[in-house]
C-alpha cells in the first residue's frame, strides 16, 4: 500500500467532511473546508491512497511563530498504520519551514499516546474556556 502526503494540496470538501464524520463519530457535515483553510490556515496535509483521501490535518496559525494542529483524521480501516503520525510530522516540517517556532495541539485523553509517543509532543500547562 502506497500512501502519498501533500502539503496544501487540492481536496474535495465532501471527502474531508466524510473523514471528519468518521473520525469524530457524527453525521457528515456540509463544511466548506476549502474556504476555511484558505482563509485561516498556514496549510494542511492530505494523505492519499491512489486517488482516495485517507487522511487530513489542518494547520492553523497566528501569522507569526505559533502553529496549531487541528482535526487530525485518518480513515478507520487505516488507523494505527502510521498515517496520522506522518500527517503530523509533515505538518511540523512545513510549519518549521514557514518560520513557526511552536506547534500546539490539544486532544482528548484517549489520544494522549498518539500525540505524545507517536508524534513527539511534550506535555505543557494550558488553559481552556468552554464557550
**Which own/partner contact pairs does 56-64 have at CB distance under 8 Å and 24+ positions apart?**
56/11, 56/16, 56/19, 56/87, 57/84, 57/87, 57/88, 57/91, 59/91, 59/94, 59/95, 61/95, 61/98, 61/100, 64/100
pLDDT band at 29 (very low <50, low <70, confident <90, very high): confident
CATH code: domain 3-118 is 3.40.630.30
Confidence of residue 28 (pLDDT cuts 50, 70, 90): confident
Q: What is the pLDDT of residues 92-110, one digit of tens each?
A: 999 999 999 999 999 999 9
State residue 1's pLDDT score. 79
C-alpha cell at 56: 487530513
Dump pLDDT digits (tens) for 32-80. 999 999 999 999 999 999 999 999 999 999 999 999 999 999 999 999 9
Domain ranges of the chain: 3-118
Amino acid at each position: 500500500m502506497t500512501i502519498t502526503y501533500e502539503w496544501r494540496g487540492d481536496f474535495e470538501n465532501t471527502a474531508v467532511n466524510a473523514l471528519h464524520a468518521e473520525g469524530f463519530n457524527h453525521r457528515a457535515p456540509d463544511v466548506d473546508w476549502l474556504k476555511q483553510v484558505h482563509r485561516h490556515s498556514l496549510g494542511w496535509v492530505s494523505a492519499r491512497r491512489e486517488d482516495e483521501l485517507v487522511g487530513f490535518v489542518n494547520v492553523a496559525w497566528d501569522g507569526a511563530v505559533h502553529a496549531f494542529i487541528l482535526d487530525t483524521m485518518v480513515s478507520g480501516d487505516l488507523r494505527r498504520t502510521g498515517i496520522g503520525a506522518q500527517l503530523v510530522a509533515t505538518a511540523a516540517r512545513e510549519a518549521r519551514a514557514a518560520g513557526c517556532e511552536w506547534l500546539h495541539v490539544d486532544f482528548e485523553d484517549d489520544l494522549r499516546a498518539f500525540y505524545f509517543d507517536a508524534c513527539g509532543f511534550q506535555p505543557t500547562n494550558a488553559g481552556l474556556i468552554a464557550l
